[in-house]
Amino acid sequence: MANKENLIGKGFDNNPQNINKKGRPKKIYTILKESGYTADDIKTIFGEIPFYTLEDATKAVKDESYPLILRTVAHLMISAFKKGDYNKIREVLEHFIGKAPAQVDVTSAGKAIQIFKIGDQEIEF
C-alpha cells in the first residue's frame, strides 16, 4: 500500500495537465493497420526505411510519387531520430526483426529440476 503522505497533492484534481483524455497514443503499426495496409506491406516498409540515410528519408517524405506508407514511416523515423525518441525507432525495428526471446525461469530459480521415478510415474522436484 502506498504511503498516503506521498500522495497528497499528486492527484488529477491538482494536476489536470496529467490527464490523458484520449487514452494511450496508438503505435505506428496500429495506425497503419487501421489505414488498410496489410501486415506484409508494413513489414516490408519497416525493413526498408531504417536503412535509408537521413537525406534519402527526407526526400522520400517530400516526394509524392512514393507510396503513402513509405512516406509515413520515413516521417516517423526522421522525427523520432531528431527528437532522440529511440523507443519509436525500436518499435519499428521490433516489428521487422522481432523481439529478442526472453528466457524466464519461474519454476526452479535456476537450479536443475530433479526427476524421480517411482514405479511407472515420474515426479519432478
* Count of alpha carbons within 13 angstroms of residue 58, beta-carbon side: 5
- Does residue 122 sit within a domain? no
pTM of whole model > 0.95?
no
Encode burial over 6-31: b for 16+ CB neighbours within 10 A, e otherwise: eeeeeeeeeeeeeeeeeeeeeebbee
- For residue 125, pLDDT beyond 70: no
Q: How many domains does the chain have?
A: 1
**20-35 tens-digit pLDDT:** 777 888 888 888 889 8
Question: And the C-alpha cell for 3?
Answer: 504511503
Domain of residue 27, residue span: 23-98
* Cα–Cα dist 69/24, whole Å: 22
One-letter-per-residue 3-state SS of the chain:
CCCHHHHCCCCCCCCHHHCCCCCCCCCHHHHHHHCCCCHHHHHHHHHHHHHCCHHHHHHHHHCCCCCHHHHHHHHHHHHHHHHCCHHHHHHHHHHHHCCCCCCCCCCCCCCCCCEEEECCEEEEC
- Does residue 16 sit within a domain? no
- Does residue 108 sit within a domain? no
- Does residue 42 sit within a domain? yes
**52-91 tens-digit pLDDT:** 999 999 999 999 999 888 898 899 889 999 999 888 888 8
- Does residue 114 sit within a domain? no
- Does residue 104 sit within a domain? no
